């Protein structure tokens, strides 16, 4: 598609939105009040709004390679802080996807360049769960590492000062772990929905056990 077409499509989309919902864009000027924050992979096949049917104004999005939440990443932490403190989102979801290039590179020690240093965070997840992964059928290890990475990143969100402070103040925000199937377009709930600091540990153990049960059975 020539790049000029993007502008043509944009004008058609804006006109169609205004026809379907007169005043839609002027309504958005006032403020954004999304209930959701999406932390996903930059992968072009995983567009947050389209997958969930959410419209402009309904989901606050942060994406990076392999949906990581690194404790020293000011970019991700700033996005989370804005979403949780300022926008008061009700749900934060960390969304991985099967066939993730970053996760597969981490699993197979593939060198891709500068990004190796970022992917090293996924290798830490891999190494933490090396026994678990080794016990699975080889064909399941990639998908299992996608799941495990999501679960670990949910924990990283939950132990951030932003979430711990929000929960300490009594804020009702849930943090979820999901995985998207590029092959079927479906979201899977990894049963890692955390609503308090105290529940992180038991939910983490149960979610990891769930990955083992799910992946061993295939």
Distance between CA atoms of residues 84 and 92, nearest Å: 8
- What does the DSSP 8-state code read for residue 197? G
Query: How far apart (Å, rounded) are the C-alpha atoms in residues 86 and 35?
Result: 12
Instruction: Give dist(CA 24, CA 155) in Å, integer.
Output: 37
Which of 43, 143, 147, 152 is in the footprint of Co ion by CB under 5 A?
43
Judged by CB under 5 A, how many residues of this single chain contact Co ion?
A: 3
Cβ proximity to Co ion, 57 vs 101, nearer residue: 101
Q: Which stretch binds Co ion (CB under 5 A): 39-47, 164-172, 184-192, 201-209?
A: 39-47
Closest-CA residue to 215 (of 154, 129, 108, 153): 129
Residue 109 CB, nearest approach to Co ion (Å): 17
185: burial class by Cβ within 10 Å (0-12, 13-18, 19+)?
A: exposed
Indicate the residue among 148 and 162 with the shorter CB distance to Co ion: 148
| Stretch of residues binding Co ion (CB under 5 A), selected from 54-62, 94-102, 126-134, 153-161 | 94-102
Per the annotation, the verdict on 127 as an active-site residue is no
Q: Does residue 100 touch Co ion according to CB under 5 A?
A: yes
Residue 11 CB, shortest distance to Co ion, in Å, is: 31
Q: Which of 9, 11, 21, 45 is catalytic?
A: 45
Q: CA 108, CA 10: separation in Å to the nearest integer? A: 40
Query: Is 158 a catalytic site residue?
Result: no
**Residue 59 dihedral angles phi and psi, to the nearest 5°:** -145, 130
Complex with Co ion: residue 43 or 143, whichever CB lies closer? 43
Q: Can you give the binding site for Co ion, defined by CB under 5 A? A: 41, 43, 100
């Amino acid at each position: 598609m020539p790049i000029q077409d993007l502008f043509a499509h944009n004008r058609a989309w804006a006109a169609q939105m205004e026809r379907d919902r007169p005043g839609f864009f002027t309504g958005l000027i006032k403020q954004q009040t999304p209930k959701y924050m999406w932390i996903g992979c930059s992968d072009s096949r995983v567009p947050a709004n389209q997958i969930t049917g959410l419209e402009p104004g309904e989901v606050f999005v942060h994406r990076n390679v392999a949906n990581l939440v690194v404790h020293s990443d000011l970019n991700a932490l700033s996005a989370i802080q804005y979403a949780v403190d300022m926008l008061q989102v009700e749900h934060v979801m960390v969304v991985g996807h099967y066939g993730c290039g970053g996760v597969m590179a981490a699993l197979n020690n593939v060198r891709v360049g500068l990004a190796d240093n970022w992917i090293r965070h996924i290798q830490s997840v891999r190494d933490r769960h090396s026994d678990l992964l080794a016990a699975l059928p080889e064909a399941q290890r990639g998908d299992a590492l996608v799941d495990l990475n999501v679960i670990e990143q949910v924990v990283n969100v939950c132990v951030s000062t932003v979430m711990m402070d929000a929960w300490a103040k009594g804020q009702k925000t849930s943090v979820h772990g999901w995985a998207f199937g590029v092959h079927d377009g479906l979201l899977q709930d990894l049963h890692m929905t955390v609503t308090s600091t105290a529940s992180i540990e038991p939910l983490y153990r149960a979610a990891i056990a769930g990955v083992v049960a799910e992946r061993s059975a295939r």
